[in-house]
Amino acid sequence: MSDAIFALVAGYGLWVVAGSAFLSCLLVPVPTALVMLAAGAFAAAGDLSLGQVFLAGWLAALAGDNAGYQLGRWGGRPLVRQIARRTGKRRLIARGRLAVHRYGALGVFFSTWLVAPLGPWVNLISGAMGLSRWRFAVWDTLGETIWVGAYVGLGYGFGTQIDAVSQVVSDWAGLLAALAVAAGFSVALAMKLRRKVRVRG
């Protein structure tokens, strides 16, 4: 996989960076993290400009996120339900809905980088649930700045060891996702118990 990604980035440069970032935000299964790492490595070698790589990935990710948000606004909850039926991703969509319902714009922020697999669903659900466009845009921008900067920066800093870095990042992302989900459930459980205590008191 990494050899194919390297070949694509070497051949098409910023177009691959932008295209993968945009499509991944619209539920297309693209290995964008690996593309960002590869582009960062090429920037370190002097074949691409680091600033241009970051800008291409960042702008495309923002465009994809906002396109997903707008689709949610247009289609509303019926669209989300239809996608859930067709993709079989009901559990993932439920997690995205919970993130937006409980945490609002902060859910958007963390879904862009801390729990990135949830991000495209949160974009869609944020629009469908009527989250403020400006709150979505601000927190999404902050989150994507972290996400794109982290992956491109890792590729730039460890370009000669890109295979090892991609494996570590993959494991790290999975760990962070698990920890984030566990933390969310813990907070929800604590709030529920607190409400019960208040009712009894």
Give residue 191's pLDDT: 62
Residue 29: is its pLDDT beyond 90? no
- By the 8 A CB rule, do 131 and 105 touch? yes
Give 91: exposed, middle or buried? Use CB within 10 Å, 0-12, 13-18, 19+: exposed
Percentage of residues of the chain with pLDDT beyond 70: 78
Give 79: exposed, middle or buried? Use CB within 10 Å, 0-12, 13-18, 19+: middle
Question: 7-24: buried (b, 16+ CB within 10 Å) or exposed (e) per residue?
Answer: ebbeeebbebbbbbbbbb
Give residue 135's pLDDT: 94
pTM (two decimals): 0.78
- By the 8 A CB rule, do 80 and 125 touch? yes
Residue 12: is its pLDDT beyond 70? yes
Closest by CA to 116, choosing from 21, 185, 15, is 21
pLDDT in tens, 41-100: 999 989 999 999 999 999 999 999 999 999 999 998 898 888 888 888 888 888 888 889
